[in-house]
Structure 1
Amino acid sequence: MELNLDGKNAVVTGGTRGIGRAVSLELARAGCNVVACYRSNVEAAAQLEKDLAETPGKHSVIQADVAVPADVDRLVDECRTRLGSLDVLVHNAGSISHIPLAKLGIEQWRNVLDSNLTAMYLLVSRSLDLFSDQASVIGVGSKVALVGVPLRGHYTAAKAGMIGLTRSLCKELGPKGIRVNLVAPGIIDTDQAAGLSPEMRERYRSMTSVGRLGEPDDIAGAVVFLASDMSRFITGETINVDGGM
C-alpha cells in the first residue's frame, strides 16, 4: 500500500483558505488533479490557482456556494467536464457564527446547517455517477460535535449531523466501493483563530497533549491518508485531529 495518489481526481470545497487550501495543495503534491471551489474570496482563489499551477497535474479553481443546490450542480458538472470522474471528494466548506440561542434566528440556523451538513448531502448525492471504484469521501467536521460550545448550538448540531450522515453513507455506499469518513479538527491556527487573545491562545495550547495549536497541514495529512489506499479498510469513522485535546 502506498500514499501515492498519482492521476487521481479530487474536488475540495472551501478549498482556497486555511484548512481547505492546505488540503488542496497537499492532494496536488500527492499526485491528484484538483478542483477547488470557493465562495467569495477572489484574492485567495487567485493565489491558490497560482500555487497549484506550480504543481504537476490538471487543476482548477471554481466559484461555488455549496449551500446553494444550483451551485453544487454546476460544480459537479464542472468536475465532470474537467476531470471525467471523481476519486476523492473533500467537503471542507462551512460557515460558523457565535449567537446565543435567544437571538438565534431561523435564517442563521439554516445558513450554518446548509453550508455544513446539507452541503455534504448535496455534494455526495449529486456526485454518485461520477465516483470511481474505491472512491473516498472525506468530510471536515469538528471536535465540537461531541463536546458542545456555548453560542454555537447550530454549528455543533451541523457537525454532529455530519457524523451521523457519515455512518449512514458508509453503509449505503460501501457495497459500491465508496468509503466515507470524517476528519474532526480541534483548534487550528488559521485566520479564524487570528483574533484569539494571547490568553485564549495559551489556554487552548494548554488543553492539548502536544502543547500547541494545530496547523492546516496537520488536517491535510489526515485527509491525504484517508484519500489513499493506506486507509482502504477504514470507513464510517471520525478521526479526531486535535493534538490530544
Structure 2
Amino acid sequence: MSEPAGSLAGRRVLITGGTRGIGRATALACARRGARLVLCYAHDEAAADLFAAELKDAGGGPHRVVRADVTDQAGVRHLAGICRDELGGLDAVVNNVGVDGRAALEEMTPQEWDRVLDLDLTAAFLVSRETLGLLSPGASVVHIGASAALRGRPHSAHYAAAKSALVGLTRTLAREVGDRGIRVNVIAPGVIVTETDPGPPPPVADLIKQMTALRRLGTPADVAGAVVYLVGDESRYVSGSILHVDGGI
C-alpha cells in the first residue's frame, strides 16, 4: 500500500539550523508527516533541549538534536557521522543555516564578508559534500536561499552574493548527482517574520506588503510547506529549480 500524499513516513532528514525560525517550522512539519530527523544548532542548548521535547510529541522519530558548527569541516563530519550511525543514511538534507547582514560595501570589513559567506554558502557546501555518500537513490537536497538575493538589496552585498551563489551550487550539484535520482533545489523566501526576527519596522513592512501580491509578509510555516513538497515524492521530477516563496513580490 502506497503512502498517502504528503507523507514522509520513515524518511531520514537532516536539517541544519533546525531549532529556530524556518528550520524549526520545517522540523515540526516533517515530524508530523512521520519523518525521522537529525537537527543541529549552534549556541542555545537550553532552547534546543526544549524543542527536542516538543519534537518528540510531534510524531515521527526517533529524533536527534545535536550541537554542531556547520562552518567547520570537523563539525560537519561529526554531524554526518551521527546521521550514518543513528539513521543509517539520509533521504533528505535541508541546508537551512544562514545569517543576514547589513553593511554598505565601502564600509564592509573582510571579517563581516567572511562571516556571512561562511554561514550562508560555505556551510551548504560542506554539509552537501559530506552527506552525498549517505543519500539514498531518489533523495532530495534543499537549500534555503533568498528572493532578495536575486533582485539585489542595498547594504547587503555579502548576503546577496552568498544566496545567489546557492543557485549556482544547486544547478551544478543537480547535474552531478541526477544520475543517482537525487534532486537538488533551492527555495527563495521573501521577507519572513520569525520568533527571533520580527521583520522590518512597520513603515517598511507596510511598503513590502503593498509590493506583494498576497499583501502580507511570510511565516516560517510558509517556507516549511515548500520544503515538505521538495522532500516528498510529489516533486520527484523537480531538480535544479528555484522555488519562490515570497507572496508574489
Q: Which moved more, 1:217-226 or 1:69-78?
A: 69-78
Deviations 1:13-57 (A, max 9, x none): 011101110001101111110111111122331221011110232
Give the structure 2 partner of residue 61 of structure 1: 65
1:8 positional shift: 0.6
Tell me if 1:105 matches 2:109: yes
Q: Unaligned 5+ residue runs, structure 2?
A: none
RMSD between aligned residues: 1.2
Aligned length: 245
2:6 to 3, 7, 22: 3
Spell out structure 1 runs of 4+ moving beyond 6 A: none
Letter in 1 for 2:133: D
Instruction: Tell me if 1:133 matches 2:137.
Output: yes
Alignment of 1:58-207 (within 5 A): 58-194=62-198, 196-207=200-211
Give the Cα separation in 2 of the matches to 1:164 and 1:196. 28
Retained in 1: the 8 A contact 2:199–2:205? no
Give secondary structure in 1 for the equivalent of 2:216: coil
After the TM superposition, which residues 197-236 of structure 1 pair with which residues of structure 2 at under 5 Å, given as runs?
197-236=201-240
SS at match of 1:127: helix
- State how far apart, in whole Å, the 2-side matches of 1:241 and 1:234 are: 16
Kept after mapping to 1: 8 A contact 2:191/2:199? no
Match status 1:21 vs 2:21: no
Counterpart AA for 1:89:
V
- For residue 208 of structure 2, what is the amino acid of its counterpart? Y
User: In the TM superposition, what is the alpha-carbon distance from 1:195 to its structure 2 partner?
Assistant: 5.5
Shift of 1:191: 3.6
Paired residue for 1:49? Answer: 52
Which amino acid in the other structure matches residue 190 of structure 1? T
The answer for unaligned runs of 5 or more in structure 1 is none
Counterpart AA for 2:48:
A
Scaled by the length of structure 1, the TM-score of the pair is: 0.97
Give the whole-Å Cα distance in 1 for the aligned partners of 2:232 and 2:68: 26
